[in-house]
Amino acid sequence: MGDTIEPVIGLIGGSGLYDIDGLEEREWRKVGSPWGEPSDELLFGRLGGVRVVFLPRHGRGHRMPPSALNYRANIDAMKRAGVTEILSISAVGSLNGDLPPGHFVIVDQFIDRTFARAKSFFETGCVAHVSVAHPVCPRLGDAAEEAARQVGLKYRRGGTYLVMEGPQFSTKAESELYRAWGCDVIGMTNMPEAKLAREAELCYATIAMVTDFDCWHPEHDHVTVDAVVKVMHANADRARALVKTVVPMLGAPRGPCPAGCDRALEYALVTPPEQRDPALMAKLDAVAGRVLAK
């Protein structure tokens, strides 16, 4: 069938998630990228027969802080590895009294307050502007929601994730500002990851696990790494169950993404072919090969 693809599920594991249990045919493999070094080797395998590629975002051993991650290399390596959709699993602080630690949030919006990261694959030599009005793929969100329901998690569908630069946690004034903006959760990593996944025409969604109340809550201590890690460990089994449940749901052969994530670059390129920089074109072979070949 012309447009039918066999999905390969990319999993990006955040704080506390550095491996995937129960993976069949598992193998860590280095995947090179013209954008530099990904956070680690990629773990290839199958879950319930479905092909999975896992990347620990901070590297095994949590070696790299959010600002030092090479988000472009991570997404490019995933695309080169054949990944068709990415589920990010991330630890977040809560900015919303209705979302206490232990809850999961299937995020649908982001506010990007990061400022010290390369945010696009497109540079001088090839300009492109994709839409990130809806940065999360609803099809992946539906699957994450159904899996959360089946596993019996306390979860909320929808929520805005404020992405801060870090690595320090927020001041109280910042935390209150983000609450006034209507943000629900806060973390340091999902941007530019989500924007780059869109540029690479990969469906993307985030399952955020609330680990703390940041620093705004009058009845809770300010966030510490110790508190985050404790909640992560307490919830590890639930996070694992969620992954094991959601992957098989996404594994069936499918047609094009109804939301158009896999065609994001269709009308995004501004620079005409004769003005494009050949060196940059070579680096874009994986993420933009589909449109550059036209």
Ligand X SMILES: Nc1ncnc2[nH]cnc12
Quote the CA–CA distance of 56 and 42 in Å, as a whole number.
Answer: 8
Residues from 27 through 66 that contact ligand LNRAV4D5 (CB under 6 A): 57-58, 66
List residues binding ligand X (CB under 6 A). Answer: 91-93, 169, 186-188, 211-212, 214, 223, 228
Assess 189 for contact with ligand LNRAV4D5 (CB under 6 A): yes
Which residue stretch of 108-116, 181-189, 242-250, 267-275 sits at the interface with ligand LNRAV4D5 (rule: CB under 6 A)?
181-189
Taking the least distance from each CB to ligand LNRAV4D5, the nearer of 230 and 254 is 230
Counting residues that bind ligand LNRAV4D5 (by CB under 6 A) gives 12
Q: Is the peptide bond before 192 cis (omega within 30 degrees of 0)?
A: yes
- Strand, coil or helix: 15: coil
- Strand 155-157 vs strand 185-187: parallel, antiparallel, or unpaired? unpaired
3-class DSSP string for 32-53: CCCCCCCCCCEEEEEECCEEEE
Q: How far is CA 272 from the centre of its chain?
A: 31
CB 82 within 8 A of CB 183: no
Taking the least distance from each CB to ligand LNRAV4D5, the nearer of 96 and 284 is 96
Which residues are part of a known binding site? 15, 57-58, 90-91, 188-189, 212-214
Q: How far is the CB of 105 from ligand X (least distance, A)?
A: 12
CA-CA-CA-CA dihedral for 258, 260, 263, 267, to nearest 10: 140
- Using CB under 6 A as the criterion, which residues of the chain lie in contact with ligand LNRAV4D5 when the complex forms? 14-15, 57-58, 66, 90-91, 187-189, 225, 228
